[in-house]
Structure 1
Amino acid sequence: MDFIPNLAINNNYRFLHEKFISNNNGTTFAESVTVLMSPTLLIVPSQLIVYTLLNPSNPKKSPALNYFLIYLVEFACIALPIITFTTILSNYFAFYFILLTLLLFIMLSFTSVIDDENIERPIAMPKRPTITYFRCIVNVGSAIAILGVDFKIFPRRFAKTETFGFGVMDAGVGLYIVSNALTTPVNIMDTNSINMNNLYKSVKHTVPLIVLGTARVIVLESLNYQQHITEYGVHLNFFFILSIIKFIVPLTLPFMKPSSLYFYSISLTVMQQMILMYRAQDWVLSNVLRNNFLDANREGIVSILGYLSLYLGGVAIGLQFPNKRGAKVRDYMELVLKLGAASVVLGLLTGYTYSAFGISRRLTNSCYILFILLVSVLIIILCLLSEALLINFTKKSSNIPEIFKAINKYPLLFFILANLLTGIVNLSVNAIYIGPVTSFLILICYMFTLCSITIGFYVRTRKD
């Protein structure tokens, strides 16, 4: 039977499901990078379709109906292609990526993005659409993957790796850390003192994550829900890891100069690798029984320093963005060149550390940290080019999809809902036995429900 008659998962199915999502070896470096970059290439086409066919400023159309149509077009142009080409059409992903890349280059070639007029156009400040693009692409991709991986139509090569390898899903947690780091306020740095107001905000943001992490542990245990304990351990989960990082950062950034962030990030990366080489890697990968808190959660404990390094690297990248009013497209084009050079360096370092240590999200080793920073920089470059193209086409300083506006305002709500809906689906059906067509339709309904609820909250609370 595909449907489960009660809320708890039986032990036999839990064993089969955990086996299904475990022991994966990932894919190639090239495919990982292209899969992670590809959603960004959907932004420009989706917004051009909306701008051309459903101009929100058209007074002849009902605002409510037009908004709903905009939402449907954005869902069809952003979420639906991601679902399609990471599931039923995943074998044709290379063709899909090449097509989108060619489309972007054609638009760049036949438009005057860097002419004297467009290059002086203002950028939307302090909204910074590029960062919104990045954060929302990470959220949407993660939401699709956390449920998609439970179905057979989601390729095992895209799933999280057991120990070493390039897994598309392995990048999710790292990119989520970077997306949070990009918006870290610069005013808390180099003050040589801990501002109590900032500390209060840190605690305020940390406590909900701890509550969510605790609730997740209790609920999963009570429902006998399938778990992949080699991700973070028996008791730790992503909510706990993020809460620790969110608490540590405000206590350390005030004593760091913005210009030294790269040094601190690199130093922590080297330190993380040295700790792993000393004994930590053998401990994490050992068959030691998980009969105490440290042994039970060794993956999560060992990874904290690596994620802190990644966060500081993300802050350093975020500080490169122009933060003054009056910033222009020219500033973004200069940033593209700067980040392009950085991507070459990060690519070389990723290649070197991969040959020396391999890549492991489970260990959060040096290669993983550098790989996530490399992918982040490449995605940001595409986001910058997309923003510049849209400014040129629409003559507006801000071109953010409505779905992205909603997710950007309520990222935690979106993430929690994604986890809740994933749980509901897995408690309702035996996902590993569902056929391709039904699985595909379930994923579409899941994402449509998730996006609809989030955008509903946004519409009810927005002030414009």
Structure 2
Amino acid sequence: MDSAYKADKEAFVSGLTGSTVGHINAISLLVAFLSVAVHAGVQSRLNPRPAPLLSFAILVLPLLLGMTLLANAPGVLIVGLGAAAAGLYAKAPKELDSPLPSRSPAPSAAFSTSPARVPPLPALSTFRAHMLLMTILAILAVDFPVFPRELAKCETYGVSLMDVGVGSFVFAAGIVSALPILKDPTYLRAPTPPKVLSVARKAAPIIALGLVRVALVKGTEYPEHVTEYGVHWNFFITLAVVPVLQVLLHPVIARGASVSWLAVLVGMTQQALLTVGGLDRYVLYAPRATLLSQNKEGIVSLLGMYAVYSVPYVYGTNDKPLPPLSLPREDDKTATELFGYTLLWWALFYIARYFKVGGQDVSRRMVNLPYILWVAAYNTTALLGYFALDLLFFPRLERYDPTSGLKRSPGAGAGAKAYAQARAPALLEAINKNGLALFLLANLLTGAINLTTQTMYASNTKAMVILTAYAGVVCWVAWAV
């Protein structure tokens, strides 16, 4: 790659200060909610299995437009998607040809001692896939001028779409890490060393990907933004190390500690190390003279990412809105409790930001306490939104059974009507199923496009053609594998 272009490209993504929380919420959360609402309306009112191209148009293109051409005019997307969702919601739900069985297990099955199988939660699948999809779109879009600079990663302080995207990826991975506990609560009390070795073995391929990426970047003179993670460190390495650290919390959680407050405590420890321990000054001013200092951002941010990764344990362990797998799930109760957590995280975030607890502002570079709280608030809001959409478009006709103390769905007897049940869009399920492989593919495609195209000089038309084709390839692969 031409050295002058490489320098220009590095400057193109450097020294940025970000946008506002409201703007980011509008172009990502609100657009994502409304696109899923439109798709849910199609599923429940028109066709339970929309065509792949229609799903792509509803679920992918609005996200892409929201971070590119319409990033500074999100109202156009919000009004258009909102009107479509409202129009679909006003239609009567489509009756199916034959009744479907109830999703609620019988009381006897609810307390079965057979090994737990993790049932798919549509809202959770939608959340994870949409977060991954936004990340996949953004990592290439940021290289084009059509992607506003205020949405790219901030140099040190500030909020941006890509900054929250990094934390959201870690947050979503943390939710998955709670699955062994949901399957078997005694997993928390199992000996720690074997669990650490097991998690480390699973993380080894990701570490390998991180090292391969380092070699490729150095070997091809690919543009680097060193202040993101360091000279050799990258996101793959962070993603591999954090789960190993998480296992160390298991003995504390097993003793009944509140997971939510443990996450806050870890975040406060990170903040104390930054401000009192001087790590913030080390990150900002220390020369890159040693291997440690060359990768100071990645290393110093690890404990903060550990806190981000721990927050979803709230939704998968003892103090959670998601009930144990041995009990029936009540989506309305789940949404209510998620609402409480949403208020808690946003309140803590704005308090920390008002009192400048993290220094000047939110910092993804150092993963300070305001950043941790922001990621927790943002992603809990996303989870709440997807649960609310399921309740709105796929209501469960339940009544309270005083005998069992559970909510039971009416039996599907003769003449009973059957409607589409909540499920994640098939496209998002496909993305969710092969998340890491698709993320790797997206990184490879991003590298190939940047090595063959001078993206920072591309017109908006050329950029949108490339980005749409890129999104289409990733989604096609998700469907195909």
> Structure 1 CA distance, aligned partners of 2:82 and 2:315?
24
| Correspondence for 1:234 | 231
- Measured after TM superposition, the shift of residue 194 of structure 1 is 2.5
| Correspondence for 2:241 | 244
Q: What is the number of residues matched between the two proteins?
A: 426
Tell me which protein shows more helix as a share of its residues.
Answer: 1
> Structure 2 CA distance, aligned partners of 1:53 and 1:395?
11
> Structure 2 CA distance, aligned partners of 1:225 and 1:91?
30
> Structure 1 CA distance, aligned partners of 2:370 and 2:25?
14
| Correspondence for 1:34 | 26
Q: Cα distance 1:51–1:387, how it changes in 2: closer, same or farther (>3 A)?
A: closer
| Correspondence for 1:408 | 432
| Correspondence for 1:322 | 323
Conserved 8 A contact 1:136-1:408: yes
> Structure 2 CA distance, aligned partners of 1:72 and 1:407?
15
> Structure 2 CA distance, aligned partners of 1:110 and 1:349?
40
| Correspondence for 2:385 | 382
> Structure 2 CA distance, aligned partners of 1:361 and 1:105?
37
Conserved 8 A contact 2:27-2:66: no
| Correspondence for 2:411 | none
Conserved 8 A contact 1:284-1:363: yes
Q: Cα distance 1:272–1:101, how it changes in 2: closer, same or farther (>3 A)?
A: farther
Give unpaired runs (5+ residues) of structure 1. 1-8, 57-68, 113-119, 458-464
Residue 138 of structure 2 corresponds to residue 145 of structure 1: yes
Q: Cα distance 1:111–1:334, how it changes in 2: closer, same or farther (>3 A)?
A: farther
Give the aligned CA root-mean-square deviation in angstroms.
2.5
Q: Output the amino acid matched with 2:461.
A: V
SS at match of 1:180: helix
Spell out the pairing of 1:39-438 with structure 2 (5 A cutoff).
39-50=32-43, 54-56=47-49, 70-100=51-81, 122=104, 126-183=119-176, 184=178, 185-186=180-181, 187=185, 189-191=187-189, 193-194=191-192, 196=194, 198-257=195-254, 259-278=257-276, 279-286=278-285, 288-319=286-317, 320-324=321-325, 327-328=328-329, 331-355=330-354, 356=356, 357=359, 358-392=361-395, 395-438=419-462
| Correspondence for 2:468 | 444
Conserved 8 A contact 2:27-2:71: no
Q: Output the amino acid matched with 2:37.
A: V
SS at match of 2:375: helix
> Structure 1 CA distance, aligned partners of 2:149 and 2:186?
42
- Measured after TM superposition, the shift of residue 310 of structure 1 is 1.1
Give unpaired runs (5+ residues) of structure 2. 94-101, 106-116, 397-417
Conserved 8 A contact 2:44-2:393: no
Q: Cα distance 1:259–1:41, how it changes in 2: closer, same or farther (>3 A)?
A: farther
Q: Output the amino acid matched with 2:313.
A: V
Could you tell which deviates more after superposition, 332-341 or 412-421?
Answer: 332-341
Q: Output the amino acid matched with 1:136.
A: A
Q: Deviations over 1:411-443 (max 9, x none)?
A: 110100010000111011000011010100100
Q: Cα distance 1:111–1:381, how it changes in 2: closer, same or farther (>3 A)?
A: farther
Could you tell which deviates more after superposition, 187-196 or 176-185?
Answer: 187-196
> Structure 1 CA distance, aligned partners of 2:26 and 2:265?
29
> Structure 1 CA distance, aligned partners of 2:77 and 2:123?
23
Could you tell which deviates more after superposition, 336-345 or 141-150?
Answer: 336-345
> Structure 1 CA distance, aligned partners of 2:27 and 2:373?
17
Query: TM-score when scaled to structure 2?
Result: 0.83
Conserved 8 A contact 2:19-2:159: yes
Question: Greater RCO between the two (CA within 8 Å, min separation 6)?
Answer: 1
> Structure 2 CA distance, aligned partners of 1:396 and 1:125?
21
Query: TM-score when scaled to structure 1?
Result: 0.86
- Measured after TM superposition, the shift of residue 33 of structure 1 is 2.1
Q: Cα distance 1:175–1:73, how it changes in 2: closer, same or farther (>3 A)?
A: same
- Measured after TM superposition, the shift of residue 203 of structure 1 is 2.3
SS at match of 1:256: helix
